[in-house]
Amino acid sequence: MKISVCIPTYNQAAYIGLTIRSVMVQTLLPDEIIVSDDRSTDNTREILENLAAEIGILTIIHQPSNKGIAGNTDACLRAATGDYIVKLDSDDALLPDYIKTLSALLTEHPQAGYAHAAVREIDHNGHAGEPRRLLRGAGFVTSEDALKSALKGYRVAANILMFRKKALEKVDYIQCTQDFAEDYFLSVCIAKAGYGNVYSPKILSAYRVWTDQGNVRKRRKLAEINGLNAVLSNAITPAFEQRAWDLKPVLRAKQHFAITHSGCLSWEVYNKEEKRELENAILKLSSAPATKFHIWSHKNGFGRVLEVYQNSAATIKKHVKKLILTKSQTR
């Protein structure tokens, strides 16, 4: 099987070289590495040109205009010629056995549209942090199970995946133009097309977590909420309708996400107009009475009480799931 590694990038001059070199130390080398630079304004271009002169399998795409995250990722994936295509962000890194392990899983499971694995968090200096693993067993899940799981969110440890090219072609790559939701949307489209996915609990890559990530996410909250609405309304709902499944679980998922994100209405980082936009986006996701109650609570200073209760309940539920999964794996 021919293997491609796709690395969309924008202003990651500090890390892009490390990312590319992590691909070059794989125990199974890819046939090509494609980097798509989305009109970076730092010295990314210079770094890439130097690396391309050194690495024969490296191809650089310079976008003529800024396409945004979704557009640049789509362009990068479409340029790949491999049967298996790794999508790698330009501040992350592969561990040596990533390609060997996940390509073997895709070969073993021909109905898997993509393979993914556990990751190790790293900070901006590259220091190792906590591992990230999914609360699910190793191996293959069907497209039906993948769709049902998607109601809970994007079910990967981190967005470092190896795709089957045929699956990408079948769904026409990334059909979501909403940044910060394109990967979640793509995973649902692949499941809708009849492909499952396969997971390894081995730590096979390093995922960079930024120290100011919380503030960054607060500033992009509107895009996140609109992205969730796009996934649930334009990807998951049609998939459920295609199978003649009951849509009530989708409505419950919309309400759950709307309630979860309503907490942003109490953040001081937003002005009145921004909060009005956020409230409208939340109500577009779900206008159920419970959603409106949570919106009112956060707008009127009672949100902290709700958050303490919700966090406690979520923590207990997570520990119970982890305990059940651990026991099932030891039997």
Interval 232-269: pLDDT, tens: 999 999 999 999 999 999 999 999 999 999 999 999 89
> What is the reported pTM?
0.89
Q: What is the DSSP string of 197-242?
A: EEEEEEEEEEEE--TTHHHHHHHTHHHHHHHHHHHIIIIIHHHHHH
Q: What is the DSSP string of 281-299?
A: HHHHH---HHHHHHHHHHH
Task: Report the C-alpha gap between 103 and 84 in whole angstroms.
Answer: 7
- pLDDT at residue 320 tops 50: no
Task: Report the C-alpha gap between 20 and 325 in whole angstroms.
Answer: 35
The per-residue pLDDT for 323 is 54
7-56 pLDDT tens trace: 999 999 999 999 999 999 999 999 999 999 999 999 999 999 999 999 99
Residues across the chain: 331
How far the first Cα of the chain sits from its last, in Å, is: 36
125-150 pLDDT tens trace: 889 999 999 988 899 999 999 999 99
Q: In angstroms, how far apart are the furthest CA atoms of the chain?
A: 60
